Amino acid sequence: MHDVRLIRETPDAFDQGMARRGLEPAAERILELDRRRRAAQTALQEMLTRRNAVSKQVGAAKRNGEDAADLIAEVQSLKDGITANEASEKVLDRDLEAILEGLPNLPAADVPDGNTEDDNREVRTHGDKPDFDFAVREHFDIGEDLGYMDFGAAARLSGARFVVLRGALARLERALAAFMLDLHTQEHGFSEIVTPVLVRENALYGTGQLPKFAEDLYKTADDYWLIPTAEVTLTNLAADGILDEAELPQRMTAWTQCFRSEAGAAGKDTRGMLRQHQFSKVEMVCVTHPDQSDAELERMTGCAEEVLKRLGLHYRVVVLCTGDLGFGARKTYDIEVWLPGQGTYREISSCSNCGDFQARRMKARFRPRGEKGTRFVNTLNGSGLAVGRTMIAIIENYQNADGSITVPEVLRPYMGGLERIASKERTGQ
RNA sequence: GGAGGGAUGGCAGAGUGGUAAUGCAGCGGGUUGCUAACCCGUGUACCGGAAACGGUACCGGGGGUUCGAAUCCCCCUCCCUCCGCCA
């Protein structure tokens, strides 16, 4: 949500920001509504001032046993004007709100211009593509052949875009989540949180998924929504609150299931675990002082990268161009992991600084030291990491010629010491 | 599913028609050699104003009654307690 005062002060900068996202100028329309709304409000307030004063006189007159008929008549005569201005202020207010809540965040100055993901800019890479002296396969072939990845069973239960994992791969899911949570809580200063995955509408409004992107979400028959990411619940923990400046930054992490309808992705990534209606993810959220959020974005991205480094996976970091930026983000780094089976980099984490865009929607504020009043906090979120996609990366990068998978060293303590995932027959599992 | 109770500022908590007590915390200032203590100020949002300052709204949300509503009436949302069922 945008600050009207900011648009009032710098309408051109606002429109330029919208233009960088490929959107039509909106400032003029907004400011016209804003002018009319303020005029109605000012007129209304003057009438209310008069009404309050005269009403007071009525009270005084009645106490003294005097006749108040003239005064009462005067207030009566104000009524139509009050009703009319009240109504027009409310309508203008709603119109203005309706425009503002549909506009995305302004991109940060250092975000590159562009239209599609092809215009994203590579920032850095880590590691190298692994060499294989055999024909590499994709994760679903490996997983299915091992007998631990079952799309048929999932289809019978739930249809397309679901998976059933068994045995060592089921455990790998749990191991990955535990490893990531341990890293973020023990070394990166995040506190571990468990949240609901069913939420009310207002939580999704706060983070910006609603009202615009309802078609991407699942909703229950009794009006709960399934979260598409724990960003929703973790960030909304700050909603409607006023924090002490000393309580910032707040770093939180949670492992949750995520649910996405993938409405716009029909026919895309239909094979394998890459794009599912349900997947688990370890999410990081940070609530910061506005002056700190830029630095926090770098830090958070580093926390996500650390997971990949320790797993020994080759990746690159790209900064999203204006055209690829999400609705609430002012700047986003995507981390793309190398998938040898696909022979391409795929997104495994997305870390965004939302500035005060979400905070304004959910009224998340803090009290600045030595200053009057309150300010909106800044919010950031990042995957650390998407667990299913991490599993894909491990399967493809650690595959062996015999169809087994080597367990990365850091995960072995979480896998009961297991060094290699081989087929059922061979391990007897 | 049944029956009750409730929602007031950061927190606690009074207020049954005359325009939001009080306490605590935090912040700013003052007194004292320091600490403690004490004193003064300080709710949030918005509008007008160069500023000083002035004004309006807000007692869960939305309507209504009234000269005037936290207070009375109607609708809605949320929270809590007990009973039943249940992992």
pLDDT band of residue A425 (cuts 50, 70, 90) is: low
- Tell me: cis bond preceding A107? Omega within 30 of 0 counts: no
Whether the per-residue pLDDT at A64 is higher than 80: the answer is: no
Tell me if residue A389 is catalytic.
Answer: yes
- Decide if A276 contacts A388 (C-beta within 8 A): yes
Whether the per-residue pLDDT at A190 is higher than 90: the answer is: yes
- Decide if A61 contacts A68 (C-beta within 8 A): yes
| Chain B bases near protein CB atoms (7 A cut-off) | 10, 18-19, 26-28, 44-48, 55-57, 63, 67-68, 78
Tell me if residue A260 is catalytic.
Answer: yes
Q: Catalytic: which of A349, A350, A352, A404?
A: A350
Q: Which of residues 31-60 of A touch strand B (CB under 7 A)?
A: 38, 41-42, 44-46, 48-49, 51-56, 58-59
Q: Catalytic: which of A260, A299, A360, A365?
A: A260
For the A4-101 domain, the top CATH level (class) is: mainly alpha
Domain(s) labelled CATH 3.30.930.10 in chain A stretch across 117-427
B45 C1' to A399 CA distance, Å: 59
- Decide if A235 contacts A212 (C-beta within 8 A): no
- Write the CB contacts of A204 (distance below 8 Å, at least 6 apart in sequence): A210, A217, A225, A227, A232
pLDDT at A28: 94
What is the mean pLDDT of the segment spanning A18-46?
A: 92
pLDDT tens digits along A260-305? 999 888 888 989 999 999 999 999 999 999 999 999 999 999 999 9
Domain(s) labelled CATH 1.10.287.40 in chain A stretch across 4-101
Shortest-distance nucleotide from A74 CA to C1': B67
Tell me if residue A412 is catalytic.
Answer: no
Report the half-sphere exposure of A4 (CA within 13 A, side-chain side): 17
pLDDT band of residue A428 (cuts 50, 70, 90) is: low
Q: CA A344, CA A235: separation in Å to the nearest integer?
A: 32
Strand B at less than 7 A from CB of A75: yes
pLDDT tens digits along A211-249? 899 999 999 888 899 999 999 999 999 988 888 888 889
Interface predicted TM-score (ipTM) of this complex, two decimals: 0.85
pLDDT band of residue A259 (cuts 50, 70, 90) is: very high
Tell me if residue A158 is catalytic.
Answer: no
For strands A405-406 and A420-421, give the pairing: antiparallel
Tell me if residue A369 is catalytic.
Answer: no
Q: How far is CA A223 from CA A99, A213, A231, A234, in A?
A: 25, 16, 20, 20
Q: How far is CA A154 from CA A161, A163, A220, A290, A328, in A?
A: 8, 5, 21, 45, 33
Q: Which amino acid is at A204?
A: L
pLDDT band of residue A328 (cuts 50, 70, 90) is: very high
What is the mean pLDDT of the segment spanning A138-160?
A: 96
Phi first, then psi: give them for residue A208, nearest 5 degrees.
Answer: 100, 0
Nearest to A307 by CA among A403, A387, A222: A387
Give A117-427's CATH code, choosing from 2.40.30.10, 3.40.1440.10, 3.30.930.10, 3.40.50.2000.
Answer: 3.30.930.10
Average pLDDT along chain A: 93
pLDDT at A426: 58
Whether the per-residue pLDDT at A52 is higher than 70: the answer is: yes
Residue with tokens 């995955």: A197
pLDDT band of residue A32 (cuts 50, 70, 90) is: very high
